[in-house]
Amino acid sequence: MTDDRGLRELLDRLSAEAGSDYDNPYTAFAWPPALPGDEYWFSPELLSVHGTEYADELSDEQLCALSRWESVNFCSLNVHGIRDLLIEVMRRVHTPGFEVPSEFFHHLVGEENEHMWLFAGFCLRYGGRIYPDEKLRPPSAGEDPALEDFLVFARILLFEQIVGHYNVRLAADTRLHPTIRRLNRIHHRDESRHIAFGARLVRLLWERLTESALDEDGRRAAGRHLSQYLRATMASFYNPAAYRDTGLADGSGLRKRLLDHPARQAAHAQVLHKATDFLHGIGVPVTV
């Protein structure tokens, strides 16, 4: 499935870039002993309450506190997303069908291991916790291994595109501490390679599927599966535990009210537009 010449050329280029771009975060990343408790750790425009009356009800101090816990939540989401990704990539490296991308998988696994270390380090140092993974997973879409491969790499790509939306904005936000900006910049530098690879691979896997056995029902089921995944991923930005740590009452109720809020639905559409444009472009029917 992966003897595509374009894919080979892309992988050669990305592997070379991964090598020349490398600096070792274990030694190079500077962790200040603490981050200022009276500054934003997450851009106010990216907060889960942004654009709603709930944001207007919060004082500047409360918004600042929420930004600290939503920053810890964002890093926690990354830790869990990377764990899932590593498990799935490791299941496939050097197995039949993945001969061509296996060399690049080594770069990807090495980089993701570093990313997980960075995100976990941020959570534990500055938040004293990694929020547990509460995301509901969509049920498996069936027994067909080719379909499963497509869905796995599609979910990885979608996750990276969503995180990328936040990374780009957080890295550019001059209100944030340099450590937060740097973490997001480093992450996005590696992720732009993963996203270029993922888009190519997912497109290929989908083409192979539709050329072979996948009928209209199968196409719609794949679309439903990925739509659910996108919704569940966006919902994980609304964490009752982060609301509780901020000192807000009824975190579960607030989460529900925010998830139903039209301003938040519009915000999700913005975050997801690259992901949904990509899927529509290759012919996967998703709705979020």
Q: Which residues bind Fe ion (CB under 5 A)?
A: 115, 160, 191, 194
Nearest to 259 by CA among 242, 234, 240: 234
Q: Which residues contact 57 (CB under 8 A, 6 or more apart)?
A: none
Nearest to 15 by CA among 126, 101, 95: 101
Cβ 279 to Fe ion, closest distance in Å?
18
Cβ 28 to Fe ion, closest distance in Å?
17
Cβ 99 to Fe ion, closest distance in Å?
21
CB of 79 within 8 A of CB of 130? yes
Nearer to Fe ion, 196 or 259 (CB): 196
Nearer to Fe ion, 107 or 194 (CB): 194
Cβ 148 to Fe ion, closest distance in Å?
20
String of DSSP letters for 97-112: T-TTTHHHHHHHHHHH
Cβ 115 to Fe ion, closest distance in Å?
4
Q: Write down the number of H helices and E strands in the chain.
A: 11, 0
Nearer to Fe ion, 64 or 180 (CB): 180
Tell me the two tokens of residue 180: 């937060």
Tell me the two tokens of residue 275: 């992901």
Nearer to Fe ion, 195 or 230 (CB): 195
Nearer to Fe ion, 65 or 171 (CB): 171
Residues 30, 35, 36, 40: is their CA dihedral positive or negative?
positive
